[in-house]
Amino acid sequence: MKKFNWEEFKYKNNKIAVHCKTEEEAKDFCNQMHEHGMKWGDGDSYLENINYNKYLGKTCYSNSCLYGGYDFYEQIGYRILEWSDYMGVGNKEFTKADLKDGMVVEYKNGKRRLVIANMLIGEDGFLTLDSFRENLENIKFMDHTIVKIFKIKEAMTFNYILDDDNLKLIWERIEVKHMTVDEMQKKLEELTGERVEFEPSVEEMIGVICKYCRKAKCNTCVIPSGMSCNFANYSKDEVKKAYEKVMEDGRKES
């Protein structure tokens, strides 16, 4: 069972969609998104409607708080993850309340401690759990933030308890480096020595088009004739064409 990286998924610049093959998977994933503070693009709760009936076994949910068919996200170059690989055990974030006697924790500085009652005990000292926030970050010292949690295979001497061979990893903190588009552009230009320009993703373009459509009147629509309002069925070229017309019209107004 893999651990799902919620920080990576929620970061809008990452092109990620999650495929749910069954309604059970869709309900579970939508519930997880709700628990992680996410909502549909229009602000509605994921618990109110999972939007599974349209695409059924091909339903995908993107990190832009939208949904669509598997083929659509594949066509526009999204990395598609299978929720069945993550569903179930292992996706819950650990908190202080989840620490049990006999578990072993590892700090950011690499030191390990044995959990006993309200204490984390090591050869060179101990800390109480009062020193940590609910998310296991140390209140004062970042190098004492808990980054790994293990179960013990065998209870032996204290030294052996903390040994690699005697531990089974059950949780690991995954940290994602966040960068703005400008920062990514600068970094890429430093690495390649070439001028780099970013184009909006298909979903970002659709978002701009939808925002335009909510304000505009249909009888003055600038989207090329013959193209419907069902943007999810557009090809990448059609989305780009409609986006360019909308942007052109916006520049005229300003």
Backbone dihedral angles phi then psi of residue 191, each to the nearest 5 degrees: -75, -40
Helix, strand, coil in percent for the chain, rounding step 5: 40, 20, 45
Torsion sign (Cα): 217, 222, 227, 233: negative
Nearest of 46, 48, 43, 41 to residue 20 by alpha carbon: 46
Instruction: Please state the domain extents for the chain.
Output: 6-85, 96-172, 199-253
Instruction: Answer whether residue 121 shows pLDDT above 60.
Output: yes
pTM, two decimal places: 0.45
What per-residue confidence (pLDDT) applies to 79? 93
DSSP string computed for 96-143:
GGG--TT-EEEETTS-EEEEETTEEEETTEEEEGGGB-TTS-BSS-GG
DSSP string computed for 18-30:
EEE-SHHHHHHHH
What per-residue confidence (pLDDT) applies to 252? 54
Categorize the per-residue pLDDT at 89 as very low, low, confident or very high, splitting at 50, 70 and 90: very low
3-state helix/strand/coil string of 133-152: CCCCCECCCHHHCEEEEEEE
More confident residue, 214 or 110: 110
pLDDT in tens, 35-69: 888 999 888 899 999 999 999 999 999 988 899 99
Structure tokens at 87: 């569903």
How far from each other are the two terminal CA atoms of the chain, in whole angstroms? 52
Diameter of the chain measured on Cα atoms: 79
Q: How high does pLDDT run on average in the chain?
A: 84
3-state DSSP call for residue 62? Answer: strand
